[in-house]
Amino acid sequence: MPVRPKEFRYAVELDRGGIVSADGTSPLDLPDEWTPEHLVLAGLVRCTIESLRFHAEREGIDFVASGSASGLVTKPTGCSRRRNAIASSARR
């Protein structure tokens, strides 16, 4: 019998005013300084730490962590496309 992969589904909504909500939860009240790129980095850090936590707990390891990430978006002169490079790190 084939093994079926687990499925994880997520949904977000962005209204015309820029208000974000996830899976029908209360809207996220973000200041204007937060860009979509900040949200991607925040998601990357959170996902990385949660993955580390999962594997640590499976092995019986006590796990406490914080993290940070930084990103760089470049747009070459004369090019309409952006090139992205994202670096992240997690601290224990």
Q: Nearest-CA neighbor of 71 among 82, 62, 80?
A: 82
Please state, rounded to an integer, the average pLDDT across all residues of the chain: 84
Residue 86 clears pLDDT 70, i.e. is over it: no
Pairing type for strands 66-74 and 20-22 reads unpaired
pLDDT band at 84, cuts 50/70/90?
Answer: low
Residue 87 clears pLDDT 70, i.e. is over it: no
| Token digits of residue 59 | 């092995």
Share of the chain above pLDDT 70, in %: 86
- Please give the model's pTM, rounded to 2 decimal places: 0.71
| Stretch 86-91: mean pLDDT | 58
Residue 88 clears pLDDT 90, i.e. is over it: no
Rounded (5°) CA angle 14-15-16:
125
Residue 24 clears pLDDT 60, i.e. is over it: yes
